[in-house]
Amino acid sequence: MKNFEYKNPVKIIFGKGTIPKVAGEIPENSRVLMIYGGGSIKRNGVYDQVKNALKNFELFEFGGIEANPHYETCIKAMEVVKANNIDFLLSVGGGSVIDATKFIAAGALYEGEDPWDFFTQRFVIEPKAAIPLGAVLTLPATGSEMNWNSVVSRVSTQEKLAFGSPLVMPQFSVLDPECVFSLPDRQVANGVVDAFVHVMEQYLTYPVNSPLQDRFAEGILHTLIEEGPKVLANRNDYDSAANFMWSATMALNGLIALGVPSDWATHMIGHELTAFHGIDHARTLAIVLPGMMNIKRHNKKDKILQYGERIWGINQGTDDERIDKTIDKTVAFFKSLGVPCTLPEYDVPAETIQKIKERFKTRGSKLGENADIDYNQVEEILTDRL
Ligand code: NZQ
Ligand code: ZN
């Protein structure tokens, strides 16, 4: 196991009927900006619950954060923050709203010219300050409620990039599984796939003798495989919704990454598919991951075999046969949730592969746990999905 340090200060408030507790978590006399998306919270009652809970606060609102939140919209929200001396941000929504809130929190206090620097100059320019924020999570998927990442899209340049900072970790996140009841099938499926692939990014690398992290990871995968279909079949099954929600948070709150290598190449390539074609985040992962497993089958052999055996019970045949079966099982699981896994099913033409290849060539980035996936391998991985 590698050395590590771990601190996750996000307070989690989990369970039915917990949304009113936000009032006790926000400092008294705060000027609060409630940030939300396209209106789902007005239809499912979450908006009213939050408004009622915060009636003793000076409360401002900023709605209209898009799925795959836009930089341009976040900049407008930063202006609202500055104009109204906001000193607390409450994010009410899915990963997009939470990610946008993180960017707004740091961007509003940025002294440089353009806070897009956080994304383009990642690891060089980092936020030095951020407005404190909290979250009410309405969609289990990203883990953004308990981590420091933010992914934002810039429409004008068709870029989708990430930044991270401990300064933008929520002070608290309220996880009420009843929010799942109003999710459409597509978002439930997306949430299961996104959480599943988050685990894979931190698990499907190479062995470093970390049996506890491996079993945490496998525990989350098993739970998603068992509970995801139950949530899809019966949206009002509270217990399954609760297990799904907690699995998604645990998949990306840093715990399973401790002391082990991480990959994240599937995400990096997937973000380009969203940037060029607007495909839902999770669906891009369902496309890329099988290609990643196939093309990197030698580097990832030990962990793919372990995953195949422990998750899907595959223990017969040569290594290559077992790897093939394991990829098939993974694809079959995604498809059973209604998530297609190839590029043509999303009308992505072969030319897009060339555009993505060019992007990675220009950036000079090498992806994966061994930093050995260059633009040529990105092309191979995507071509595998045609
Ligand atoms: O905008 P509204 O009207 O709220 O509707 C949303 C949106 O249309 C709807 N929704 C959310 N909660 C609902 C609901 N509809 C009914 N009932 C509810 N309870 O669902 C749609 C999708 O929401 P979104 O927030 O976009 O989904 P998700 O949580 O999957 O977030 C995706 C974004 O997170 C980023 C992705 O790249 C993408 O931009 N990620 C963030 C990560 C992080 N911060 O750590 C990691 C991930 O890998 C990911 O990259
Ligand atoms: Zn993801």
Q: Give ipTM to 2 decimals.
A: 0.99
Distance CA 242, CA 165 (A): 28
Work out the burial of residue 356: count CB atoms within 10 Å of its CB; fewer than 13 is exposed, 13-18 middle, 19 or more buried.
Answer: buried
Q: Strand pairing partners for 92?
A: 36, 136
Distance CA 284, CA 28 (A): 42
Tokens of 309: 């055996």
3-state helix, strand, coil in the chain (%, to 5): 55, 10, 35
Domain 185-383: which CATH class?
Answer: mainly alpha
Domain definitions of the chain by residue range: 11-178, 185-383
Closest ligand to the CA of 153 = 1
- The position carrying tokens 């499926």 is 189
Query: Yes or no: is domain 11-178 CATH 3.30.2290.10?
Result: no
**Separation of CA 317 and ligand 2 centre (Å):** 32
Closest ligand to the CA of 96 = 1
Give the pLDDT of residue 353: 98
Average pLDDT over every residue of 27-37? 97
List, for residues 81-117, the tens digit of each pLDDT value. 999 999 999 999 999 999 999 999 999 999 999 999 9
- The position carrying tokens 């994966």 is 368
For ligand 1, what atom is nearest to the CA of residue 39?
Answer: 3
**Separation of CA 260 and ligand 1 centre (Å):** 27
Provide the pLDDT confidence category of residue 365 given band limits of 50, 70 and 90. confident
Amino acid at 197: V
How high is the mean pLDDT of the chain?
Answer: 97
Provide the pLDDT confidence category of residue 310 given band limits of 50, 70 and 90. very high
Residues around the ion ligand 2 (C-beta < 5 A): 194
List, for residues 138-162, the tens digit of each pLDDT value. 999 999 999 999 999 999 999 999 9
Domains 11-178 and 185-383 share a fold: no
Average pLDDT over every residue of 257-271? 98
Distance CA 253, CA 239 (A): 21
Q: Which of 10, 35, 40, 41 to mutate to test the pocket of ligand 1 (most atoms within 8 A of CB)?
A: 40
Percent of the chain with pLDDT over 90: 99
